[in-house]
Structures are given as structure tokens and as C-alpha cells.
Chains A and B, each alone.
Chain A
């Protein structure tokens, strides 16, 4: 109705429908993130050995998962920043060429105020996610910080460094004292655990997980085995760590200490990738705040057209929010490895048994297909933008000008 109702609906009805499009898009993001954050922080569910799966215990716990709430605002606001930078960049391009000046200035003002609010909330809620992640994903935080050892509280934030995975230490560190401790624990006396300490903890969980796995096998054979059940109940929280062991040995019950140690170290995600992805994402986040606050200042003083350097900067920023968003997903998803569901289901057990050849085939298919579509899409967008509201003959008719933007 949004696309097809321009001439069929009254203006008010169409505005309501437009609002529905915005609401619907944001709500679908909510449910996607509730599902995704359950994988980061699986609450409200319990493993049932009779069905060999996690089953829902509390829908409210899943919905109000604190990680999901923070990530929802963070991700949706990041999406709004993508939209704002897009409008800002294209409007800047028109201003640089002196075309569609009136509509470009107006679009820029809207994009700027919206973008400023959103880029601020991306960073604030990102900080909130950082705080929350430290509660249940300490390993991710430690890897992002390349914090090999627990520091004395409050921990410093590593601004620069060269994480070395083989030696398990970070070279040429530049640290800002206190900052990490403040972000991650909101206190000056709590410690942020380091990788070595977390691996030690994981080792204990693998050992407990071995017992959970053995008890589970006995229960599968005889569901009425009460001693197996009580053993399973005692160690069920660590079952995932027992399953993780299966990657290194077929026989989890009699794993050698080296295998246990290897498993425990496998819970550390790729430190250099996370370290750098996170830093680039945060730098971009602050850059957007700078971009929008400058635009806000210039727009409110009507100085946009005089400051061509800024218009060029705004246009050059076009691809940056996408890069920042992708980096964010790398931190979130790659940082959760080796888990598909944090602490419960290892990724190697979570994948389907579809043959590698089929997966390659479909992956290549999608890459080719989407690359083709992307080329056509960009071609059409560039063509549309070049023609612009003036070239399409719609300006100064206001309704159709908005329509062109909506289709863009």
C-alpha cells in the first residue's frame, strides 16, 4: 500500500501506512535480534535429554533477554545511521553540483538531526552491550581486548597493540588506564578476567562436561537410570563443553589431558580479528558523531554550501556505515566462536550434514547471483541519482519528489 497507494489513498491514510512500514521494519528487527541474542545468551530454555534439544521454559525470559534489548537498539540505530549517511551523502553530491539545492538542503537537515540522534545511541547502546557482554561473554571481551592475563582492577583499555596468538601476548601495547574496567564492569574495583584465567575455568567445565556427556549416554540407553540422572543433573550446565571435546576425540569419556587442554583453548576466538574489528567499528562510530554534529552546526548556520570540504567528506562517507555494521557483526558472530549457541552447542555440531560440495555449489551460486543483482542495482541507483528530482521532471512537485526518494 505504501508503494501502490499514492493515488489510491487519502494523504492521511497514506501517512499512516508509511508509519506502519517503519514500525513493521523495526519490529521485524526486534524478533531477529531476540533470536540472535538468544544464541549469544541462551536464557529461558533448558536441555531435555528425552528429545535431545533445548526447550522453552520461559518466553518472557527470552523476550526480555537483557542482551537482546541492548542489541536491538544498537542494531536498529546502526541501520538508521546507514540510512542517514546515505541521504546525507547523496544530498552533498547534489549540493557540490549545485543541483536540486532546495530539496538537498532540506534532506540534509532531516538526515543530520536523525543521524546525530542515532549515531549517539549506537555508541551509547554499544557501550551497554559491552557491559552486558562482560557478564555472560567474558571470553569475547577478553579477546576483543587481547587481554591475555587478568589485570589489577580497574583494567586499562588497549588503544593500540599487536596481538600475537602463538606467543599468547600483545606487543607494542598502548593503554589508557582505567577505561576498560569502567566500561566492562561499571566499577573501579572489579576485575576483567583475562584469557589465561578464562581458559583455566573452561578446563574445569570441559572436565565436568565429560561427566555430563557420559551420563547423557547412559540416560539415552536407559531413561530410568536414576544414578545417571542425578549425575547428569549435577553437570548439565557443562554439557556443551563436553560436546566441544568431541571435535578432538571420538571418545569423550576417556579424553587425555592434552585433549582437554586443547578443547579449553579452543574456546578462545580469533584474537587479532576481534581486536581490530572492534577498534575500527568504534572509531567509525565516533566518526559518525563527528560527521553529524559538524553537519548539524553547518546546516543550522546555513554554511553547508560554502564548506565544500565538508560536502566532499560527507559524500566520501557513503560506504562507511555499511563497513561499520559488518565489523559489528564480525565482533558479535565470529567473536562467539567456537559456539553456535554460547556455551551449549558447538558450531561444528550445529551445522547440517549437507555435503561440502553442495554447500560450495550453493555458496558460489549465491555469490554470483547476488553480485549480478548488486551490479544491476547499483547501476540503476546511480542512474536514478544522476537524473535526480530535476532530471526526472518531478521537482518542484513535492509528492512525486518524495516518491522518487522512496523508490531510490
Chain B
């Protein structure tokens, strides 16, 4: 049987890969959801922008659902503590995400402008609210979630929703919103026809600047103004998962400890900012295909930057730091991790090749004439 420590590491990487896959694919759907109402000035414009994501956004969202599933199956304590700890925030994400399929399904069914307007705003909420709250949620991991375990090892949450709206969390919300708008703009610039594409490129450049600035400020804040956590007791990386046995030390700027210990890791935030700047340049030069790729790299770098800073923590606790969840004490059993890994090895190639086929079928620029030809309803 594979080594327990190795399996835990692999599942930490899989969780990260799923988040990255979600940010790269559904990220641009959320970005376009946020801005299509403003970018498209007529109903036809908006129709074109929506058409650039409509056939695939649902498949993209599966990355997120699988991420939740992977947390449930591989990191059950993380799942339990985060879903009840961030209860109202996740409720809002869920409502917003439900508005998306409903908006897509219902928008085209009637042609009155009141109807279209209402669903346009529903789609806006479905794009902007999750894009913002994902950043808020990530920031709260750095701030620590207020929970501890009781004698039956149930996570007890003692914080409140309002406490999650710390200024640092709001800043991180802006980081993630700007990042996804940049990504959506790059996709729109690549996918739709000329006039709309050039407007999208301008939005993308602004978003890229906002992203780089807020990303940098958030990093400085983390280094200079926030407490970080570190496990100081002896860690057995292959022990049975019990998160209450360790000792955790809290120090100012502690979240940068991994970077200080291994300077090569600075590459992650470095590449992130460089790719965002490149995205801006490429959009200016109208090389939107390349801009989409560098933007995808920026998404990857952002998630890696946060993941590396937190490692080995998955979900630190602010109420009882010793009860915080780490890669070494919050996983499923060795057998479960192994069986699920076999599942991943089996199904991932199928999923990836199907996705590739879908994009091949849907390739090409989107114009109003093509939409009219393909669908009878619009």
C-alpha cells in the first residue's frame, strides 16, 4: 500500500489542482458573468457574450463541485469545519451560483426587455458574488476560522458571518474579482467579434492593473500586519488523523515562513504578477489568445502562492490554534485515499479528453449570425 504521507501530499496537490482547474475554466465564466451586462450595450451584444460561455460553464463548474467532493472524501474534517464554519457565506455563494443556470435557462425564453433585464442582473449576481466571496473565503483561512473540537471530535464553530468581513478579507475579495474579470475579458477578447472584443480588451487591462496592485498590497499586509501559524510540536506525517494533539505557535508575519525557508518558492508570487502584467501588454497588442494563456498562469500562480503560504495548514483555527487542520492530521484513512486516487487515475483522462472534444466542436469566433443559425430561439 502506498505511503500515507505521500498519499496526503498527493491529495493536497489534487485539491489544489481542482481549485486551479476551477479558476482557469469557470473563472472566465464568472468574469464574463460579472461584466457582460456593462460590456454589452445591446441585447445582441449580451447574447454574443453569453454565448461564449453558455455551452461550457456548467462543465467548468464541475471542477468546483469535484473540489467540494474531494474535500468531503479526502479531507472530511476540512469539509465539516468549513461548511459549518462558513455557513452563511457558502449559503450566499450557493444562491448566487444557482442563479446562473436559472439565468441561462430562463433568459432567452421571453423577449420582453423587463424579463431580459431581470435575468441579466441575476447572471451578474451569479458571476460577481461568487468571484468576490471566493477571495473572502481564502483570506479567512489566513485570518483563521473560529472553531475547536469537542470531546466527541465534532467541530464547534464560535465565530460569526460579520467577523469574516475583515478588511483583509474584503481586499482579497477584490483581488479575486479583479483576477477573474481579467480572465473573462481575455476570453471575450479572444472569442467574440471585433468591436466587442476591443472593449473587452480595455476592461481586461484595467482589471489586470487592479489585480497586480491589490495582490501586492495583500502580500505586504500578510507579511507586516497579520499573525501566521506554525506547528512547533513533533509531527508524525503518517499518524492517524487527529487534529487536537499538536502545538501551534502564532507569530506576526508567520505565513511567510515557508518562503523564508525556501526562497525558490518566491517564484510563485513572482510569476503571478509577471503573468498579469504580460496579460495587460498582450491585450494592448490585441494578442488575446496568448493573453488568455498568461491570465491562466496568473490564476495558477495566485492559488499556488496562497497554498504554499498556508502549508501544511488547510484550515487554521483562530479560537484554538492547536486544533487547526493540517495536511497531516485532517485526511481520510490511508485506504480511502488510495481507492480514490485509483478513481482519479481512471477517470481524469476521460474527463480531459471529453473536455478537449467539446472545445474542438465549439471552436471558432462567435458572431450573431452564427448564433441565429445554431439556435432557433434567439
Residue numbers of A with Cβ under 8 A of B are 1, 3-9, 48, 50-53, 55-57, 59, 220, 243, 349, 352-354, 358, 361-362, 365, 369, 373, 376-377, 380, 383-384, 394, 400, 403
Contact = CB atoms under 8 A, between A and B. Distances in A.
Interface stretch (B149-157, B163-171, B214-222, B292-300): B149-157
A31 to B, nearest CB: 10
A3 B55 contact: yes
Contact of A48 (B88, B98, B109, B240): B240
Contact of A8 (B54, B151, B362): B362
Contacts of A59: 339
Given A1-B361, A354-B87, A362-B91, A7 B374 contact: yes
Contact of B106 (A4, A6, A376): A376
Given A52-B153, A353-B155, 9 more contacts: A52-B242, A55-B332, A55-B335, A55-B336, A56-B332, A243-B152, A352-B87, A354-B87, A384-B109
Nearest to B80: A352
A358 B86 CA distance: 11
Contacts of A400: 376
Contacts of B55: 1, 3-4
B237 interface: no
A51 B83 CA distance: 20
B361 A8 contact: yes
B106 A48 contact: no
Contact of B241 (A4, A51, A56, A354): A51
Nearest to A217: B151
Contacts of A354: 84, 87, 157
Contacts of A369: 95, 98
A51 B95 CA distance: 34
A1 B358 contact: yes
A382 B142 CA distance: 50
A55 B109 contact: no
Interface in B153-207: 153-157, 161
Nearest to B118: A376
A353 B373 contact: no
11 contacts: A3-B55, A4-B55, A55-B333, A243-B152, A349-B152, A354-B84, A362-B87, A380-B109, A380-B110, A383-B109, A403-B376
Given A48-B333, A362-B91, A353 B374 contact: no
Contact of B242 (A51, A361, A380): A51
Given A4-B362, A380-B106, A53 B373 contact: no
B335 A7 contact: no
A383 B111 CA distance: 13
B116 to A, nearest CB: 14
B102 interface: yes
Nearest to A57: B335
Contacts of B361: 1, 5, 8-9
A119 to B, nearest CB: 29
Interface string B133-155: 00000000000000000011111
Q: Is the interface of A mostly helix, strand, loop or mixed?
A: mixed
B106 A358 contact: no
B289 interface: no
B85 to A, nearest CB: 9
Nearest to B337: A56
Contacts of B98: 369, 373
Nearest to B333: A55
A157 B376 CA distance: 56
Contacts of B156: 353
B253 interface: no
B76 interface: yes
A50 B240 contact: yes
Contacts of A394: 376
Nearest to B239: A50
A255 B175 CA distance: 56
A301 B241 CA distance: 67
Interface in B84-141: 84, 87-88, 91, 95, 98, 102, 106, 109-110
Contact of A56 (B91, B95, B152, B336): B336
A376 B154 CA distance: 40
A362 B151 CA distance: 28
B99 to A, nearest CB: 9
A69 B154 CA distance: 31
A48 B76 CA distance: 14
Contacts of B154: 349, 353
Contacts of A50: 240, 242
Contacts of B336: 55-56
B87 A56 contact: no
Nearest to A52: B153
Contacts of A4: 54-55, 362, 374
Given A7-B374, A353-B154, A369-B98, A51 B88 contact: no
B86 to A, nearest CB: 10
A6 B333 CA distance: 46
Q: Name which of A48, A358, A383 has the most chain B CB atoms within 10 A of its CB.
A: A358
A380 B95 CA distance: 21
Contacts of B376: 394, 400, 403
Contacts of B153: 51-53
A21 to B, nearest CB: 12
Contacts of A358: 87-88, 161
Contacts of B151: 220
B59 to A, nearest CB: 9
A353 B157 contact: yes
A384 B335 CA distance: 51
A97 B83 CA distance: 51
Contacts of B161: 358
Interface string B40-83: 00000000000000110000000000000000000010001001
A362 B88 contact: yes
A394 B102 CA distance: 25
Nearest to B51: A4
Contacts of B109: 380, 383-384
A51 B240 contact: yes
A365 B88 CA distance: 11
A4 B54 CA distance: 9
Interface in B223-274: 240-242
A353 B155 CA distance: 8
Contacts of A5: 361
Nearest to A349: B152
Nearest to B336: A56
B90 to A, nearest CB: 9
A215 to B, nearest CB: 15
Contacts of A349: 152, 154
A373 B101 CA distance: 11
Contacts of A403: 376
B240 A53 contact: no
Contacts of A243: 152
Contacts of A9: 361
A111 B335 CA distance: 45
B152 A52 contact: yes
Q: Name which of A4, A8, A383 has the most chain B CB atoms within 10 A of its CB.
A: A4
A358 B160 CA distance: 10
